[in-house]
Structure 1
């Protein structure tokens, strides 16, 4: 095992995230462009009923993922999170592949978010080149992540807070419009005709499965709670608290938004709107509605970029501890930040950004395909890790009742989760528009497994059974050391 060094040790991260940071991080994780921009498109494609069922299925999958992650993260709250658990409980090649796939996808997404933020700024500054704003936001988010973990958490707290307040206000306004309390300009009060039974599934039931990748995209980011566990105060208490609100926020934000939008706008109109949220605010006569909503969307974009930089950096730091990434990325500076890992992540994100600017289509499609598929595969990895962990835990003499947080209805929850995620990937193969992304993503994952087996498998030594038994017998409630990843002992690259 990697043992924590002293206060000034080169491999130590600091538990500086407070309960409010983790709660808002988990709350804001599912509120982004997937809600503000993509939900209207999903309603247009699948109909109101199809969208509701799709997001409920996605919410159920997310609940299963997060409960599996919760059991693992409370038992072993480390920065490597699902990459660590896959390494320890499935196989090191699985941890290596999941880690690098998620890193590439997350870092590439950060680069795309920089571009998206620059494009959003053209609303206010049409004559300023997009690349200038990209550079400004890159420096801003890099500085936030480089200063301290608390700085990142504080920024994400306020980013998420703005998004949460905006969605709550939208729901209140939408209910006011539906009930007739608030009038729309040049539009009558809706009478819920759009929710008539014959309009709920205009394209049939099967289209729900085709749009599920949009749903998964909307929900991605919640797994960041696991990555942040290694730098969270009192993770045994705060992680379950964050996870317990998942279903509530899914129903409140997504399902309520779908019902409101579907009741007010015909399905055909929603497919033509850039953001139905902006349109509704304009219709009720709110001054500067486009400016307000564009600011909220810009905040959501920066929040995603901020989180992606954090997640990619911490995964790179964790993998370096197992010899799955160069040793240099395991070093931290005086502020307890893995600065070299952060710098490499930013450079990689810049390459992703350049591919979108230069329209290097093949590379850009590859990166985005990996980003889209990596979340689904990572969720499968989390569920399988929990399934294997529970089996090994019991076989080694551990008692389920002693776990600080445990999955109910084991083993059905992890097995159902794996099955649902696999079904989503299979259905992508039937959609010509998403088939190439599936092939790229699966291909990269297989390539990582082969690379590990050929180049690294002989260098890695799995943690001994004796160490696992010692870990199981640790006193419940004891705060795990961030530097003690409990994963593997290995040589470095």
Structure 2
């Protein structure tokens, strides 16, 4: 029987006990909206401005190609999730199919990804609040948001799900509203931009590839950053009421979400205003709706972007807590982090993660102008690693079940292994592109240091506790996570 405050006893034949004691508090409605929210973030609302200025209308092609790759990754994840839905999904699959070091590295890397993302998003949220209250110090706002979301994540997974549901609802409603207004301007000609808005903007200002195909390819790393977080639905597996049904449904709707919220929204924006009028660092949505003449457009969009940032930070606290506790259950992190509170949330792991996110508050105090740039340097590379692990794990799993060594999945990814290999090659291409972008190159400087830290940590753990690094099925029993 699961213990609400610590380790679990679990069945001895099962490498991971039944969801490690978590409450199955996320329903279909919340899972669907978490999946939608994961596909809409500050990468779209703000990052698209820089990408448009670099590639023009051909950015649409970058989003479409990257969207296909993301769908391949998510279907591969869906196959793994229906095989074995567990809370530490990425690390568990890496451990099972790629080896103990891959599981160790993936768990810690995905944890780091959401820690730095949480830092970045609290920083972004504090910046957005200055739109209305420029006199409030940025670090105070960042700290306030961090504490509020921390408290919400401690209370229950249901509250996390509800908060994420309404955050996502704001983003979805805003995007749909923008699309409908844009269609109205294009077809009926109303508003200040009605006389000039036209779909011909997609090709008449220097063509569809105004800066060449090479410039379009270079935007792929910006686009992939915008898609970071779509895999979060996999972390919810251990707390979904019916993962065999809700998770495949959420994954199967991903192409529609990408087509509507990314490609559809940008298609409208680029038709309303010539791409030459968009500037890096400025939301293209604010610029476009400013041209339309909608009252308080900047304030409305700023509220939506603030919501997107808080949504991402909320998701970060949720996922870091689960991933860190999963590592502790495997004796790859301090045993005290296995503890659950009375609401069955990993309070100790969330607290440690939140304290580290607080380093972002310190950066907001010391260097508010550069904080966002500093703490997002590693996020994209961490995401690429996680996606690559998902693909490689699914390839190995498919080989195993076809050979009869493992049960076949109930939700099979379409296409053969060739589609997963192509997706892996695409991720390598994006990593290479990062090396050629001076604005993003810093992430490749940071990641080798992280890799060395992982290697040293794994070597030390191997000497002290060989059973932990090799995925001892009963590691959680010795984790010291009792009440």
Structure-1-length-normalised TM-score: 0.88
Counterparts of 2:324 and 2:416, CA distance in 1: 31
Correspondence 1:35 to 2:44: yes
State whether residues 25 and 240 of structure 2, in contact with CA within 8 Å, keep that contact through their aligned partners in structure 1. Answer: yes
The offset of 1:181, in angstroms, is 3.9
Partner SS state of residue 379, structure 1: helix
Choose from 189, 202, 215 the match for 1:195. Answer: 202
The offset of 1:215, in angstroms, is 0.7
Cα distance change of structure 1 residues 191 and 138 upon mapping to structure 2, 3 Å threshold: closer
Correspondence 1:117 to 2:133: no
State whether residues 48 and 195 of structure 1, in contact with CA within 8 Å, keep that contact through their aligned partners in structure 2. Answer: yes
Aligned to 2:15: none
Per-residue CA distance 1:56-115 (angstroms, 9 max, x = gap): 111011101101110111111111011111111111111111221221221122122112
The offset of 1:125, in angstroms, is 1.6
Give ranges in structure 2 of 5+ residues lacking alignment.
9-20
Correspondence 1:268 to 2:276: yes
Cα distance change of structure 1 residues 412 and 460 upon mapping to structure 2, 3 Å threshold: farther
Counterparts of 1:16 and 1:424, CA distance in 2: 37
Choose from 423, 432, 435 the match for 1:426. Answer: 432
The offset of 1:362, in angstroms, is 11
Give ranges in structure 1 of 5+ residues lacking alignment.
465-485
Aligned to 1:415: 421
State whether residues 83 and 99 of structure 1, in contact with CA within 8 Å, keep that contact through their aligned partners in structure 2. Answer: yes
Aligned to 1:475: none
Cα distance change of structure 1 residues 460 and 60 upon mapping to structure 2, 3 Å threshold: farther
Aligned to 1:46: 55
Choose from 201, 207, 210 the match for 2:215. Answer: 207
Cα distance change of structure 1 residues 150 and 59 upon mapping to structure 2, 3 Å threshold: same
State whether residues 228 and 380 of structure 2, in contact with CA within 8 Å, keep that contact through their aligned partners in structure 1. Answer: no
State whether residues 5 and 339 of structure 2, in contact with CA within 8 Å, keep that contact through their aligned partners in structure 1. Answer: no
The offset of 1:132, in angstroms, is 2.3
The offset of 1:7, in angstroms, is 5.9
State whether residues 191 and 263 of structure 1, in contact with CA within 8 Å, keep that contact through their aligned partners in structure 2. Answer: yes
The offset of 1:270, in angstroms, is 0.9
The offset of 1:492, in angstroms, is 5.0
The offset of 1:457, in angstroms, is 6.6
Counterparts of 2:155 and 2:7, CA distance in 1: 17
How many residues end up aligned between the 2 structures? 465
80-89 or 390-399: bigger deviation: 390-399
Per-residue CA distance 1:136-185 (angstroms, 9 max, x = gap): 21121011101000000000000000100000000011111122342226
Per-residue CA distance 1:405-454 (angstroms, 9 max, x = gap): 11122312321221111111122223333333123224423541343134
Aligned to 2:2: 5
The offset of 1:389, in angstroms, is 1.6
Counterparts of 2:349 and 2:411, CA distance in 1: 31
Aligned to 2:173: 165
Cα distance change of structure 1 residues 463 and 317 upon mapping to structure 2, 3 Å threshold: closer
State whether residues 96 and 449 of structure 1, in contact with CA within 8 Å, keep that contact through their aligned partners in structure 2. Answer: no
Aligned to 1:332: 340
Per-residue CA distance 1:370-398 (angstroms, 9 max, x = gap): 22210011100110111112223333444
Aligned to 2:410: 404
Counterparts of 1:424 and 1:17, CA distance in 2: 34
Counterparts of 2:374 and 2:286, CA distance in 1: 32
Cα distance change of structure 1 residues 102 and 273 upon mapping to structure 2, 3 Å threshold: closer
Structure-2-length-normalised TM-score: 0.90
261-270 or 381-390: bigger deviation: 261-270
The offset of 1:127, in angstroms, is 2.0
Counterparts of 1:109 and 1:430, CA distance in 2: 23
Cα distance change of structure 1 residues 232 and 307 upon mapping to structure 2, 3 Å threshold: same
The offset of 1:272, in angstroms, is 5.4
State whether residues 117 and 313 of structure 2, in contact with CA within 8 Å, keep that contact through their aligned partners in structure 1. Answer: yes
Counterparts of 1:136 and 1:85, CA distance in 2: 36
